[in-house]
A and B are shown apart, each in its own frame.
Chain A
């Protein structure tokens, strides 16, 4: 009597893993760039960063 096959869930192909990794790196770099941008703009504006002109 054979046992039912165990469900391993998702098994990504190598191409899918590579694509996912490259997308993850791009998202990480984008978020890091956003952090740097907000930091730089806070330095530039100082206390004025809370004032939003038209």
Chain B
């Protein structure tokens, strides 16, 4: 039985404080808080890290590790939506999220995110290993506190540093198998870290008004289009060699090398078009944004097929 009656102003027993209406949030709203599309990319990159790592892991343990990483990523998304509800309401892209729409109360999103974060980290630590759990805890902390609460609203370099949060999952997957870290997962981390700025700045180029309205100091808002286009080209020229690096370093084979070279060349071409195209910059930016997703997916998918798939099947068979 609740403390409130329909139609009346809802007040609590202590000092008559006003209470929230009974929640109308559905399961779908709570799933939306987990940012399922972001979660799917996190799970995929973690799967690659887990598959290419040397050593063996029981399939049930591997599933548990991926589940914990997915839930941890979802919890970060819920905490992000709790903190950013004010600016989400001002942006076209995010205005229909559950918290700004009023379907989920901010306190519910906070409780949901904190509960899932604790569960994900504790279960990963208990059932897999402590290093993977510590990395997951740091990733959640980095995304929520360092990126969402601090960098996002204070510096145009928000996405450069904050991108680290999205780059950790392959390292967590690797750590889940080996209980340690080495150059290979750090290289995967670096690829995603350097991929993030051109990806999000391409989006920001055609969503500049949205970000400006919300007061987020994204690079196009603060430094302008010309500077952003130059930065996009610069970071693309960094990420493409990094993307190719696993091949000459012996972490990947010819198929990966060929894929990284061809898709990397297309990335540079699209970034050059963004750099050169004065008007309309939106079309070139949209092309780069869309292709950058395919680029990262292809790099990791080929690595999974070439390095991880055989090992993964062997582990399951064993």
Q: A1 on the interface (CB 8 Å rule)? A: no
Q: Are A54 and B130 in contact (CB under 8 A)?
A: yes
Q: A41 on the interface (CB 8 Å rule)? A: yes
Q: Return chain A residues, CB-CB under 8 Å to B1.
A: 9-10
Q: Which of B27, B60, B64, B179 contacts A23 (CB under 8 A)? A: B27
Q: Return chain A residues, CB-CB under 8 Å to B23.
A: 16, 19-20, 23
A11 to B1, CA, bound (A): 9
Q: Are B60 and A40 in contact (CB under 8 A)?
A: yes
Q: Are B5 and A37 in contact (CB under 8 A)?
A: no
Q: Are A19 and B6 in contact (CB under 8 A)?
A: no
**How many residues on chain A are close to B (CB under 8 Å)?**
25
How distant is A37 from chain B, measured CB to nearest CB, in Å? 6
Q: Return chain A residues, CB-CB under 8 Å to B123.
A: 34, 37
Q: Return chain A residues, CB-CB under 8 Å to B2.
A: 9-10, 12
Q: Are B64 and A52 in contact (CB under 8 A)?
A: no
Q: Return chain A residues, CB-CB under 8 Å to B41.
A: none
The contact string, 1 if C-beta is below 8 Å from chain B, for chain A 1-24, is 000000111111101100110110
The majority secondary structure among interface residues of chain A is: helix
The contact string, 1 if C-beta is below 8 Å from chain B, for chain A 31-51, is 000100110110011000000
Q: Are B6 and A11 in contact (CB under 8 A)?
A: yes
Q: Return chain A residues, CB-CB under 8 Å to B60.
A: 40-41, 44
Q: Return chain B residues, CB-CB under 8 Å to A16.
A: 22-24
Q: Return chain A residues, CB-CB under 8 Å to B125.
A: 52
How distant is A46 from chain B, measured CB to nearest CB, in Å? 11
Q: Return chain B residues, CB-CB under 8 Å to A34.
A: 123
21 A-B Cβ contacts within 8 A? Answer: A8-B5, A9-B3, A9-B5, A10-B3, A11-B6, A15-B24, A19-B24, A20-B23, A22-B26, A22-B27, A23-B25, A23-B26, A23-B27, A23-B30, A45-B127, A52-B125, A53-B179, A54-B129, A54-B130, A54-B179, A54-B180
Closest 8 CB pairs of A and B: A10-B2, A26-B27, A16-B22, A11-B6, A9-B1, A44-B60, A41-B127, A22-B27
Chain A interfacial positions (CB closer than 8 Å to B): 7-13, 15-16, 19-20, 22-23, 25-26, 34, 37-38, 40-41, 44-45, 52-54
